[in-house]
Amino acid sequence: MASLRTDEAETHLVSRSVRVSAPSFRAVLDAAEAPRTVWSAPDEATVVGEGAAATVTADGPNRFDRVREAAEELFSSGDVHAGTEAARPRLFGGFAFHADSAGGPPWEEFPGARFVFPRVQVTYTDDGAWLTVNAVGPDADVGAVEKRLDRERERIASLPDAGPVAGPPGVVGRRRTTARDDWNASVEAAVDRIRAGDLVKVVLAQALEVDLETPLSVPDVLERLGDAYPECYRFLVEPNPGADRPQASFFGATPERLVSLRGRTVETDALAGTTGRGETPAEDEWLAQELLNDEKNVHEHELVAQTVREQLAPFASSVNAPDRRVKRLATVQHLWTPVTATLSTNEHVLSLVEALHPTPAVGGLPPEKALETIRDTEPFDRGWYASPVGWIDAAGYGTFAVALRSAVARGDVATLFAGVGVVEDSDPDREWDEVQLKYRALLDELER
Ligand SMILES: C=C(O[C@@H]1C=C(C(=O)O)C=C[C@H]1O)C(=O)O
């Protein structure tokens, strides 16, 4: 069951916004009260959420519906003055990868779904910064919210400068979930099943636990990830701390959008098929051309592009996908098909999230057999890795990314996740190397 936790059953909502001269996103995040959230996407405002005016959680296979119902209930009684669209109040959060996620380490505080309606939201647009103060239930008094807006504005204006961005914390120990022999055996077993016609594709992942030399500064890492991966979706999800444990932070910079919905316009990405970066522009271009012409990668990619188009079709009056191209990131290059669709009726973004997750870029085909293979093969809990993370607004619009190139940090330990699509022609050694390459996105920000 979904639960909408406020201090009272009454969910009346008040939200007020004001333009502010806010210090940097790092300074605001550094001083933010828990639980903290960050969302930053290409062509969207960057948003820092502080505290929780309401929290929505759900478990099990109906978690998407439960969150949608709770979101609709929350926003149904809103008294909102946002001033600008970007500053409107939103719910931020995400879902576990599997419907029956066990919440094993390091995911103890991450249920099947968890969304936060922040008490304070700071939004950075191209046109300046906005402060939004939200209240739900007994706190939702217009006078009290307006007073809090004044206080928060003063607090934010007087925050100290964040100073220079700290470098990586350093890595002093590593533990892999998957030994090389076990990996080879798993990939070979998957390839055998694919050749026998039992499976078409399965995405197998690994986890890497690292000991940090000093505790992680999440604001600094997010800042550096933003510099290195401007075309990616950056996120931070911090649940309330568990008993006797340091705060867990799930964060990343993912190149993959699961879906965005605005009006009846849907945008999504088919992203699958990977190669490295070259030492020179010419080598980069050579690798990109090789990727575009590589039969195994094109097959792996087209399974995703085709499935995404098919899954959107029942909702859409039209689905458009141009020819596949290459998305070049700081550490890797991917085959990419941007897909757009026009809905035939109004939909909530979570209906599309539910229809699309998990795409064969992170699950496989046929979906149920691939998920079963993932559960039976991977010796760790995926938790929220490769799952939808993003935001929802009162209109039911939103953007969700696929939480790749991600890690959970807790105190001086961080767990990184990365996976690869296994198809008929997969070679275990090459797939191993691809996992290591995908770890680089976050390892480069952790290692000295
Ligand atoms: C599974 C991951 O990435 C996904 C798998 C890819 C592939 O197999 O080529 C490429 C991009 C992502 O869709 C990951 O980064 O962990």
CA distance 65 to 95: 12
Residue 7 has what pLDDT?
43
Q: Which residues pair with 325 in a beta bridge?
A: 336
Question: What is the ipTM for the molecules in this complex?
Answer: 0.99
Residue 115 corresponds to which tokens in the numbers above?
């969304």
Atom 12 (ligand 1) nearest CA:
272
* Pocket lining: 112 vs ligand 1, CB cutoff 6 Å: no
- Averaged pLDDT for residues 55-74: 96
CA distance 242 to 52: 16
Q: For CATH 3.60.120.10, list the domain ranges present in the chain.
A: 171-231+241-248+256-446
pLDDT band for 102, please (50, 70, 90 cuts): confident
Options 201, 354, 378, 431, the catalytic residue = 201
* DSSP secondary structure code for residue 314 in this structure: G
- Averaged pLDDT for residues 211-234: 97
Distance 8 CA to ligand 1 centre (A): 43
Q: What's the burial of 33, exposed, middle or buried (CB within 10 Å: 0-12/13-18/19+)?
A: exposed
Is 99 or 244 the better-scoring residue by pLDDT?
99
Is 408 or 139 the better-scoring residue by pLDDT?
408
- Averaged pLDDT for residues 156-173: 95
* Pocket lining: 256 vs ligand 1, CB cutoff 6 Å: yes
CA distance 416 to 414: 6
- Averaged pLDDT for residues 133-150: 94
- Averaged pLDDT for residues 146-159: 96
**CB-based contact 363:203 (threshold 8 Å):** yes
Residue 244 has what pLDDT?
83
pLDDT band for 245, please (50, 70, 90 cuts): confident
Q: Taking the domain 171-231+241-248+256-446, which CATH number applies?
A: 3.60.120.10
- Whether 267 is a known active-site residue: answer no
pLDDT band for 5, please (50, 70, 90 cuts): very low
Mean model confidence pLDDT for the chain: 95
Residue 11 has what pLDDT?
57
Residue 6 has what pLDDT?
43
* Pocket lining: 232 vs ligand 1, CB cutoff 6 Å: no
Options 256, 300, 378, 431, the catalytic residue = 256
Distance 214 CA to ligand 1 centre (A): 29
The C-alpha R_g of the chain, in whole angstroms, comes to 21
Residue 1 has what pLDDT?
35
Residue 258 has what pLDDT?
98
* Pocket lining: 210 vs ligand 1, CB cutoff 6 Å: no
Distance 186 CA to ligand 1 centre (A): 17
* Pocket lining: 274 vs ligand 1, CB cutoff 6 Å: yes
**CB-based contact 68:351 (threshold 8 Å):** yes
H-run or E-run covering 94: strand 91-95
Residue 101 has what pLDDT?
87
pLDDT band for 8, please (50, 70, 90 cuts): very low
- Averaged pLDDT for residues 141-153: 96
Q: What's the burial of 174, exposed, middle or buried (CB within 10 Å: 0-12/13-18/19+)?
A: exposed
Atom 6 (ligand 1) nearest CA:
272
Question: For a pocket test of ligand 1, which of 97, 203, 231, 426 has the largest count of ligand atoms closer than 8 A to its C-beta?
Answer: 203
What is the share, in percent, of the chain residues with pLDDT greater than 90? 92
Maximum alpha-carbon separation in the chain = 68
pLDDT value at 242 more than 90: no
Is 322 or 103 the better-scoring residue by pLDDT?
322
**CB-based contact 111:57 (threshold 8 Å):** yes
* Pocket lining: 335 vs ligand 1, CB cutoff 6 Å: no
- Whether 201 is a known active-site residue: answer yes
Whole-structure pTM value? 0.96
* Pocket lining: 288 vs ligand 1, CB cutoff 6 Å: no
pLDDT band for 103, please (50, 70, 90 cuts): confident
